[in-house]
Amino acid sequence: MLAFTVRRLFSLLVVIWGAVTLVFYLYYALPGDPAEIMAGGNNRNPDPAVVANIGAKYGLDDPIIVQYGRYMWGVVTWDFGESFKDGKPVTDIIAERTPASLRLATWAMALEASLGIFLGVLSAKRKGSLADSATTIGAAVVSAVPVFVLAFLFQQVTGVYANTHDWPSWARLPVQGIGPNQWYLFVVPSVEQFRYLIQPAIVLATVSTVVVARLQRTTMLETQKSDFVRTARAKGLSEGQITRRHTLRNALIPVVTFIGIDFGTLITAAILTETVFNWPGLGSRLVTALDGRDLPVLVGLTTVVVLIYGLVNLAVDLSYGWLDPRVRQSSRGAS
C-alpha cells in the first residue's frame, strides 16, 4: 500500500508539471500581448513607455523558456510569485480560495453521492415501477438544466420573490456570497453559514446526480444477479442484509470510481456556480486571472486544482481496499 501511494504521488508530480507547462503554452497562445492588455489595451491605446515598463517589470519580454524556467523554480520552492493585477502573493490567494472551493466541492459531492446512490438503489429495488421511472426522469431533468439557469431560478425564488412577497426570514436564503465564512472541523458549517452554502452546493450537485443514480442502478441490478447473492438469499439472509452487506458494497466500486473522477467535473462546473453565487473559490478566480492575463495566478491556481484532483483520485483508489478485500494494492497491482 505504501509503495503504491508513493508511486502515485510521484506520478502526480509529473502530472502537475505537465499541467503547468500546458498552461504556460496556452497563456502565450492567447490572443493579444499580455503587457499591452495589462496596460489597459482593451479600452484605449496605452502609452508605449507604460507597456514597455510593464513588460520589463513582469519579465514578459524574456524568452518564454526563461520565464518558464523561472516559474518552475518558483513552483518547486513554493514561491508562486505575485498577481500581475494587484500584487497580492499567489500563496495568499491560494490560502484564501482553496478552503472555499474544497468545502463547496465536498458538500456537493456528499449531496451528489448520497442522493445519487439512494436514488440508484431505490430504482434498482423497484425496477420497472413508477418510482423507478419517476425518480430517474426527475433527476435527469434537473441535471439537464444548465447550472446558471438553475442558480438563477433559485436566486429569484428564495431571494427576490421572497423579498418582494415578505416571506418569513427562515424561508429566505442569501442570493450570493460566502457569508460569515464560519466552519467547524473544516467542513461543518455554522447554522448561518449553512444558509449560504446550501444553494450553491445543491446546484453544483445536480450536475452529476443523475449519472450517479443511473450508474448505481445498473451496477446494483448486475450485482443482484451474481452467484454470491443467490447463495446469500438461499442461505436465508433478509433482503435488507443482502442489499446492505453484499450487493451494495460490491455495486459501489464503479460508482465510487465515477464520483472520484467526477470531482474533476465538479471543479470545472464549480466555475459557473462560483461565478453566479459569488462563492470565492478557485474556479471564479481562475476565470478572472485568464481575463486579466494574470500568469502567476493562473499557474498557481491550476497547480492547486491538479493537486486536489490527483489526491482525490488517489483516495478513491486506496478506498478499493476497504470496499473490496479482493482488491489489495499489491506490488503488482497498480490500477
Partner 1 sequence: MIRTKRWRAPLAGVFALALLASACGDSKDDSSSGTETTEATAKSGGEFIDGAQLVADNLTSYDPGLVQTLDESQVTTAVYDGLTDFDFTDKVNPVLKGDGAERFEPNADATVWTFTLKKDLEFSNGDPVLPSSYKFAWERNARAGFASPYGYLINFVKDGASLQEEGSTVTTLDSIVADDTALTLTVTLESANADFAAIVTHPFFGPLPQTLVEANLDDWGTTAMVGNGPFKMAAAANETEVVLVPNDKWDGNVEGDTKPKLDKLTFKIQKDPESAYTDFESGNLMSATIPSGKYSQALADHNNTVSSGTLGVYYFQFGFVNNPQLSDEVRDNSLLRKAISTAIDREQINAKVYENSRTLPTGVVMPGIPGYKADLCEFCSFDLEKAKGLMEDWKADGGTIDGPITINFNTGGGHEDVVSIVQENLKAIGIESTTDPISEKYFGTMADGGCRFCRAGWYADYPTYGNFSYDLFSTDSVGGNNNGSFSDPKYDELLASAQAETDDAKRAELYQEAESYLLNDKMAVVPFNWYTGDQVYADNVTGYDQPPLGLILWEKVGLK
Q: Which of residues 295-324 bind partner 1 (CB under 8 A)?
A: none
| DSSP annotation of 169 | G
The CB density around residue 73, as the number of other CB atoms within 10 Å, is 10
**In this chain, which stretch among 101-109, 157-165, 203-211, 216-224 interacts with partner 1, using CB under 8 A?**
157-165
* Residues near partner 1 (CB under 8 A), total: 74
From candidates 143, 247, 275, 302, binder to partner 1 by CB under 8 A: 275
- Could you tell me if 119 and 189 are in contact, meaning their C-beta atoms sit under 8 angstroms apart? no
Beta-bridged to residue 89, according to DSSP, are 82
CB 90 → partner 1: shortest distance, Å?
12
For position 266 contacting partner 1 by CB under 8 A, the verdict is: no
What does the alpha-carbon distance between residue 145 and residue 272 come to, in Å, rounded to a whole number?
13
Query: In this chain, which of 156, 231, 268, 330 binds partner 1, going by CB under 8 A?
Result: 156
- Taking CB under 8 A as the criterion, the residue among 15, 110, 162, 221 binding partner 1 is 162
**DSSP annotation string for 34-83:** HHHHHTTTTTS---HHHHHHHHHHTTTTS-HHHHHHHHHHHHHTT---B-
Is residue 67 part of the contact set for partner 1 (CB under 8 A)? no
Measured distance CA(104)–CA(249) in Å, rounded: 27
End-to-end CA distance of the chain: 12
The residue among 21 and 181 lying less far from partner 1, judged by its C-beta, is 181
Q: Verify binding: residue 175, partner 1, rule CB under 8 A.
A: yes
Residue 183 interacts with partner 1 (CB under 8 A)?
no
In 145-198, at which residue ranges do the beta strands (DSSP E only) sit? 183-184, 188-189
Is 195 near partner 1 (CB under 8 A)? Answer: yes
Q: Which amino acid is at 58?
A: Y
Give Rg (Cα) of the chain.
24
State the binding string over 19-58 for partner 1 (x if CB under 8 A, else -).
------------xxx--x-xxxxxxxxxx-xx-xxx-xxx
Interacting residues with partner 1 between 74 and 93 (CB under 8 A): 82, 85-89, 93
Stretch in the footprint of partner 1 (CB under 8 A) among 3-11, 70-78, 191-199, 303-311: 191-199
Give 168 or 325: the residue with its C-beta nearer to partner 1: 168
* From 62, 98, 106, 125, residue interacting with partner 1 (rule: CB under 8 A): 125
CA atoms within 13 Å, Cβ hemisphere of 141: 5
**Strand partners for 189:** 183
